[in-house]
Amino acid sequence: MLLEPFNPLSCWNSGGLVGQNYSESMAFPNWLIILTWESIFETGICFEVKDGLVTADGMLRQEPDAMQTATQLYAGHQTGLLAAAGWSSHAFVPVLDFPSEPDRQMELQKIFERYPPETGDEFQFNFVRSVLEDREVASSTFLSFPAQCNLHADFFTKDLQPGNFITIGTIQVHPVSSGSFHISSPDPVAAPIIDPRYLSHPLDVEIMAWCLQFIEKIAETEPLKSLLKPGGKRNHPTAYMEDLEAARDYARTTASTSFHPVSTCAMLPREKGGVVNERLIVYGTTNLRVVNASVMVIIPRGNIQSSVYAIAERAADTKVGFKRSENCAFGL
Ligand SMILES: Cc1cc2nc3c(=O)[nH]c(=O)nc-3n(C[C@H](O)[C@H](O)[C@H](O)COP(=O)(O)OP(=O)(O)OC[C@H]3O[C@@H](n4cnc5c(N)ncnc54)[C@H](O)[C@@H]3O)c2cc1C
C-alpha cells in the first residue's frame, strides 16, 4: 500500500541503476526495505590434523565431552574454545604475488582481453582490474578456522565427519561478477527477486582456482605442515587441487557468499548508474536518503561493518545529515 502510489515496479526510475550491481550487493530504495548486493565469495579446504591436537570439531558436532570441557574452561578461566573467534587468522595477499606459484600476469591479461566489460559494468570491471594487476595491493584473503566445514552442504556444520581438522579458507575480495536485487510486486511483503550471479564472470572462477591451489602450498609449508596428518582426510573427495580444472570445479561447487553485499544504491554520478548523491539523497528526490551498505560503490577490502558505521556517522553529521522532517531509509 505504501509503495503503490510510487509504482515500484517501474523500479523507481530515478535515472540510477537501483537494484543493480549486487556485488554481493543489491537494492531498491523503497521506504521499508533497503537491501544491497555486490558480494565477495569464499571457499576453502579442510585438512585432518595429527592425532592428539584439539580442534573445535567436537564442539561443532555437539559432542557432550567437548561441550563440557569448553564450558568448564570458559566458566573457570574465561578461556578455551568458547572464548575464541571463529576464523582465527587473516592474510591479505595480491594474487600476482603468491610465493612459489607461477606468475599469472599474462594469464590475467588474456582473461581481461577475452572477457571485456559489458556496457554499464566498466566502472567495477576497471577497478577490479587495477587491483588484480597491482602486486602491492591485496586482492585475495586467506584465513584459518580450527575445525572442518562441510562446504558441500547447505550449512557448513551439517553432516560433519569424525576426526579433527583445520580449514584454510580463501575470499576473493573484489569480484567482477555482480547481481541484482529488485522488488517483485507493489506488495511490500512480497519476496524480492534476488539474482546474485555469483561466479558468473569467468575471471572470478579463475582467481578462486588460483587461490585454492595456493592453499595446497600453504598446507605444505612449515610450521603448519607438521600439524597436519600425512595422507589425512579432507572435507570431500574432490578437495584436492591437482590441476587448475579440478580447482575451478571445486570453486564452482563450494564457493558461497561471505555476506558483505553492497552497491545497489551506489553513490555515483547519475549518468554512471548512481542512485544517491554525495549527501545520500536519492536522485530525483529532494529529501529521501539511503543510509546503509547499499550506497558503497565497491566492497571494502576488509570486513565492511566499520564502513557501515562510518556512513551512519556521516549521515548523522550536521553538515551532510538530514533535518527531522526529511525521510530516511535506515539500514542500521
Ligand atoms: C552471517 C553474517 C556475518 C557477517 N559477518 C560480518 C563480520 O564478521 N564483519 C563485518 O564487518 N560484517 C559482517 N557481516 C556484514 C554486515 O553485517 C553487514 O554488511 C551490515 O550489517 C550491513 O548493514 P546495513 O545497515 O546495510 O544492513 P542491516 O544491518 O541488514 O540492517 C537492515 C535493517 O533494516 C531492518 N529492516 C529490514 N526490513 C525492514 C522493514 N521492512 N521495515 C523496517 N526495518 C526493516 C532490519 O531489521 C535491519 O535492522 C556479516 C553479515 C552476515 C549476514
Note the pLDDT tens digit of each residue in 29-75: 232 233 335 667 789 999 999 999 989 999 999 999 999 999 999 99
pLDDT at 303: 86
Whether 260 is catalytic is: yes
Contact 23, 261 (CB under 8 A): yes
The fraction of the chain above a pLDDT of 90, given in percent, is: 57
Average pLDDT of the chain, as a whole number? 85
**Atom 17, ligand 1: residue with shortest CA distance:** 305
Which residue's entry shows cell 575464541? 84
Which among 1, 31, 56 is positioned nearest to 265, based on CA atoms?
A: 31
Contact 18, 275 (CB under 8 A): yes
Give CA–CA dist 286/288, Å, rounded: 6
Does the domain at residues 41-178+195-257 carry the CATH identifier 3.90.950.20?
A: no
Instruction: State which ligand 1 atom lies nearest to the alpha carbon of 303.
Output: 11
Task: Report the half-sphere exposure of 278 (CA within 13 A, side-chain side).
Answer: 2
Which residues have C-beta atoms less than 6 Å from ligand 1? Answer: 32-33, 36, 259-260, 292-293, 303-305, 308, 331-332
131 exposure class (CB count in 10 Å sphere: 0-12, 13-18, 19+):
middle
The pTM (predicted TM-score) of the whole model is 0.85
- Convert the pLDDT of each residue in 225-263 to its tens digit: 999 999 999 999 999 999 999 999 999 999 988 888 899
